[in-house]
Amino acid sequence: MAQNMKDEDDELIDSFETFLKRQGLSEIVTPKICIKDYDYPGFYEVHASPIPGQPDAFLLLDIVSEVQGFNPGFLKIWKPFFVSHVSVSMFKDTFWWFFLHRFKANMEEDQNQLFDRIAGGFVSLLMTVQMNLKDKLFKVYADCLAQAVFTSFYKAFPASQEQFGDEFKTDVADLINFWVSGVKPKLLSWQSWKLAELCPADEGESVKDSACDRESAFEELVSKAQKLTSHFIGPGPQFQYVSFKQCGQSPLVLRYLQNFGIPTLAGSFTRKMRRTEISSLPYPGNTQHGGAGD
């Protein structure tokens, strides 16, 4: 009889685990593991792989939308676009592309499969947006997608949050902006992200113990300090010139055209322009502060 009860318990456990997997909730009950020990679930032709610990990707994109401070009129247009099925699929594939790019070696074939589908999704978004709304929506799309990708890593792998520092945020922000527009954003663009709202402290954890909140508090102190009169000691920011084609395409659009063998018009417009970028900033400590009368 005891053996029968054990078999029934095992069957119930197996059924419960199967139910969680079907609902996309299995990651919630798994123990916290290091991101380097996590295995890529693989590429599926019919749908994007779910993100660990994020059974509701729509909700995360909705949260990212809400913290941007968009006016109500724009938010009414933005949300159906950003939280659409195509956008959610792009978000998931982008998460896994960065997972392979940052933490798994020799996975180029899988990355290419993901990038091809991301490109296809991006073109689908372009085609579904009204012409008079394109510039408004895509002006902020890349940055919002980057915020969603960073937040999903932070939430999915809490035991590896030290891996998601400034260099990681810069990589995510720069690459996603480059994919969408063909140019990188301003240096350290992620400093405008509202990290305290995107990554709130967990239950039972004080606000002071939240890594995102600590970083947000530090940025606030820096902002206040910058209001003082300051003078650089030593060299200032370093600049570099970057060439780009006026009629070139977004790398995502270009990839889509290449995949379908569609010739591009950009080749006939070879004129290039130069834009100036800040390549590096001076060390924060190399300043001298003075009062208003100095």
User: DSSP string spanning 81-138?
Assistant: HHTSHHHHHHHHHHHHHHHHHHH-SS-HHHHHHHHHHHHHHHHHHHHHS-HHHHHHHH
Phi then psi dihedrals of residue 46, to 5 deg: -90, -20
Nearest to 61 by CA among 13, 18, 108, 94: 94
Query: Is 80 exceeded by the pLDDT of residue 203?
Result: no
> Residue 53: what pLDDT?
83
> How far, in Å, CA of 242 to CA of 245, rounded?
10
Question: pTM higher than 0.85, yes or no?
Answer: no
**Mean pLDDT estimate for the chain:** 79
In this structure, the number of other CB atoms found within 10 A of the CB of residue 253 comes to: 19
- DSSP H helices in the chain: 2-22, 57-66, 72-82, 85-103, 108-128, 131-156, 166-181, 195-198, 211-226, 251-259
The three-point CA angle 234-235-237 to 5° equals 140
Residue 147: burial class (beta carbons within 10 Å; 0-12, 13-18, 19+) = buried
- Averaged pLDDT for residues 68-86: 97
> Residue 200: what pLDDT?
85
Burial 209-219 (b: 16+ CB within 10 A, else e): ebbbbebbeee
- Averaged pLDDT for residues 87-92: 98
Instruction: Find tokens 């060390």 and name the residue.
Output: 283
> How far, in Å, CA of 118 to CA of 158, rounded?
26
pLDDT bracket for residue 4 (50, 70, 90)? low
Query: Is 60 exceeded by the pLDDT of residue 232?
Result: no
Beta-strand pair 272-280/238-245: antiparallel
> Residue 6: what pLDDT?
46
- Averaged pLDDT for residues 244-254: 70
User: What does the block give as tokens for 263?
Assistant: 């010739």
